[in-house]
Each structure stands twice: as C-alpha cells, then as structure tokens.
A and B are shown apart, each in its own frame.
Chain A
C-alpha cells in the first residue's frame, strides 16, 4: 500500500514537472516581453512597420503580415493536398495501397525542417526565380515548403475524422442512389467537417511556428509583401535571426515578438480544441 502511494507521488511529481516547465516558459517570455510592449505601446508595437531595433524602433506589423501570408499559403497547399489525400486513403483506395501510402505521408513528419529548407533553397527558389521572376526567396517558396511540411498533420487527422464517420452514413447514401463522389462530398466530408477543421487548425499552428525552413526560403525582408513573389520575414524568423546578437531592449523586443506568436498560437489551439470537442459531443449524443 505504501509503495503504491509512493509511486503515485512520484508520477504526480513527474507530471507536474512537465506542466511546470510549460508554466515557466510562459511566465518567462511574458516577463521579458510584456514590459517592452507596454513601454512601446501595444498599438505601435503591433501596427508600426519600423523595425530598427538598434535605434529603439520596434514595429512588427510586416512580420505579422508575413507570418499570416505564409501560413495562409501553406494551408491552401496543405489542405488541398492533405484532405485530398485523406479522402483517397479512406474512400477510394484498396487497403493494400493504404498500408503503403499512409505511412509514407506520415514519414514526411520525420524529415528535419532544415532539410526541407535546404531542398527549398536548392531546387524551389531557383525554379521560382527563373520561371516566375523576382528573387525566388518568396511567400510562394515558403508556402510550398510549409505546405508540404503540414501535410502529415492535416492528412492523418483528416483520415481519423473520416474514419470516425459511422459506416451507416456511407451505406445509407449509396443505398439512396448517390455515387461514390456524391457520397464523399455531400455526406462524409460534412459529417467529418469539425474533425477536418481541427486538422487544418493544428496544421496552421505547425506552419506558423516553423522557423528554420522559413528563414532559408522566405528572404527575411522587413517590407510588407505586395505579391506572392515578394520576400517576407515571419515572426519566428525574426526571433531566430536576431536572437544571437540581441541585447537589452532589442532582446526584450524579440521576446515580445514571441509573446505575440504565443498569443496567436494559443488562439488557434483554443479554436481547434473547441471545434474538436464539439465533434466528440456530437458523436456521444448519437
């Protein structure tokens, strides 16, 4: 009995360590970042386009635009291909092919991001520069690289969502005379909608947080992009590029950039959680 209790205590301690590290990280970045936001003024910090950290001007608006642009681009690619792949895997694919395709898509998650970046720089960027013009390092290049990187997340969660749709829906629809495709887009996709939304939002969180690959292919300018072929700097790249050198207010401004990113990701995760909880409730209510 005593050992039972001891083990429970140890496990609790371990669990608390994990959670407290999260709390520590949160407390630390807020402690370092928030005073600077207050000092500069939240409006100016978020909406000014002047980032001259050594002269005391901290405006991260172009980077917010950059993060949003790159993430949206990545989601267009990630969602079209990811959800398409999930539909193929769950509806139109013989089981033997699924057993090859699904693991290979999931394998994409295991490739280090610097490798994605390197392939982007070595192949994608010259291709864009030579065929479409511009510097090559661009919103487009970053979107494509990130789109591929979020594929495993979007695909595997969408597959789970589609598989969770009761078999009777599909059978009922087919029995009513609908074709396979009609069944898929009129019945299954709608039934799995909340799960797919959760997949998209989790993929978005991954895309907005990615750093290394983006630094390598996005060009990191401080300007607001006007087209897909313009280079951008994202919030994460800004932190990673300048962290090594920063001191004083500059360093705090980078933490403040981190706070902004943290808040954005928190909002996305909250949406994902509520949406997927709604799905669970729906299934339970059935």
Chain B
C-alpha cells in the first residue's frame, strides 16, 4: 500500500516536471526570439547586445540554425523573428512579411598565395560547375582547383546559386562545409581552394578576389557595382509584434546601420 502511494507520488512529480519543462520550452517570458541564418547571426547578436543595453523590459535572444530553419521557426510560431540570408521564395513570401535590414556581399575567397586577383562571373561559374578544373584555365598558375561549397539549403549557397550559377549546378566534387567559419578554415590552409562566403566575415587571412573587375568592398556594394549582393531579411509572420517592431526599428536606425557597415555589411537598401 505504502509503496503504491510513493510510486503514485513519484509519477505525479515526474509528470509535473515534464509539464513545467514543456511550459518553459514555450519561450521565456521577456525574450524576443530571433532564429535563423548563421550568416546574419553574428551581426544580429551584436545588435541584440547593443539593443539590450538600451532598454529593460525584454531581452533579444538570437539563435542560428540556417535561413530555412528560421523561416520554419517563424511559420510555426517558435520564433518571433526569423533571419534569412536569401530572397524569400514565392510560397514563403505569400505567408510572411520581410524587412531587409542590411545587404551582404558574397565574397569569392582564395588562399592568399593564389596569384588570381580578378575573376569574371562567368569564370566563377566555370570553376564551380567543374568545367575549369585547374587554375590556369582562369588565368592562374598550374594547380588543381578545390571547390568548397555550403550544404543544400544554406542561404549563402542559395544566394550563390542564384547570383552566380543560374541554371548550372555546383560540381559534385565540391567539398561541403556547414558554416562560413568552416569554409574559411579550409580556404585558409589550402593553396588550391576556392570558396564563397559572407563578405563581412572574410577577415585578414583570406583573399577575396575582384569580380568583373570590381573590388569586393562595402562601398562598391553600396554603389551597386559589386555584382554579388544579397539581402539580409528579418521575417515575421504577419505584422511584427510590438517588441519585434522595436528591435527591427533599432536595427534600421542610422546608428545600428553604421555599426553594420563598420563590420563589413552593406547598409539596408
């Protein structure tokens, strides 16, 4: 009898804990959940920190996961704001509202020892489709080309596909890495490598080549000359909530935009 009672109590406690846990999972009160693209994430984190210092009634909670994951999270109501580093697809645009908070250049990066300085869009396409398998076919020296791409579904990859590859496919031989950081790490130590990544994250260790003769810089992007530019979107389901509106308003403020430009992004269009 006693044992029975204890077991019932124990099971009740477990149930209670599970329910509590589920309640917690629904979202901490006082947080604005921002989920999505790993390309946008570092910038959003920086802005969130800045934003949190200015006010007190809620905090901004930034998580990665990828553009598509962010869009799914917003559609399911898990996130308040989704971060997306590509244009919305038609069916997504029908359901969601998007605000472009910045633009990002897509840099074509190579090892610093690679003599190639300048590629045309068509040459980049030939490299990544596998038609040009050695660097001397695009004006470099005689070494093999090692392609580094991002995984299927990544916003960076989709932007690259749309801006550069158009209808042709990225070669099967391309090494697939799952973040900007991993791409950077590979190109940094491999003299034959070529990859693409967010311009703001290139850093000192890699060489970003000129595309169609235009240097990959914020200024050229702003002027509309650099051809590889994609939007960074904040996506909401329906009109943004009061909190989301305040955060997005902050991100679009001149102060925040200047901060983004300092970090290597091109300001909102």
Contact = CB atoms under 8 A, between A and B. Distances in A.
Contacts of B90: none
Most buried by B among A10, A215, A245: A245
Nearest to A233: B176
A3 B1 contact: yes
A7 B3 contact: yes
Interface stretch (B60-68, B100-108, B111-119): B60-68
A62 B178 CA distance: 19
Interface stretch (A92-100, A181-189, A200-208, A219-227): A219-227
A135 B146 contact: yes
Interface in B1-16: 1-4, 7
B172 A221 contact: yes
Interface stretch (B50-58, B148-156, B217-225): B148-156
Interface string B175-195: 111100000011001101100
A121 B177 CA distance: 12
Interface string A17-55: 000000000000000000000000000000001001110
A246 interface: yes
B175 A220 contact: yes
A241 B1 contact: no
B190 A221 contact: no
A2 B1 CA distance: 7
B65 A244 contact: yes
Contact of B69 (A49, A129, A220, A245): A245
A242 B189 contact: no
Given A7-B3, A54-B152, A215 B173 contact: no
Contacts of A137: 175, 186
Given A53-B152, A135-B175, A222-B172, A247 B4 contact: no
A161 to B, nearest CB: 39
A49 B171 CA distance: 13
A222 B192 CA distance: 19
A220 B146 CA distance: 13
Contact of A220 (B67, B68, B177, B189): B177
B176 A220 contact: yes
A223 B178 contact: no
A250 interface: yes
A215 B152 CA distance: 14
Given A242-B151, A244-B66, A244-B153, A221 B175 contact: yes
A101 B153 CA distance: 46
A3 B4 contact: yes
Interface in A105-162: 121, 126, 129, 135-137
B190 A241 contact: no
A231 interface: yes
A221 B176 contact: yes
B176 A219 contact: yes
A242 B153 contact: yes
B90 to A, nearest CB: 14
Contacts of A6: 3-4, 7
B37 to A, nearest CB: 10
Contacts of B146: 135
A141 B44 CA distance: 36
B215 interface: no
Interface string A206-244: 000000000100011111000000010100000001101
Contact of A245 (B3, B68, B169, B185): B68
Interface of A: 2-3, 6-7, 10, 49, 52-54, 62, 121, 126, 129, 135-137, 215, 219-223, 231, 233, 241-242, 244-247, 250
Interface of B: 1-4, 7, 65-69, 72, 146, 151-154, 169, 172-178, 185-186, 189-190, 192-193
20 contacts: A2-B1, A3-B2, A3-B3, A7-B7, A10-B7, A52-B169, A54-B153, A62-B172, A126-B189, A129-B190, A220-B176, A221-B174, A221-B176, A241-B151, A241-B152, A242-B153, A245-B69, A245-B153, A246-B68, A246-B153
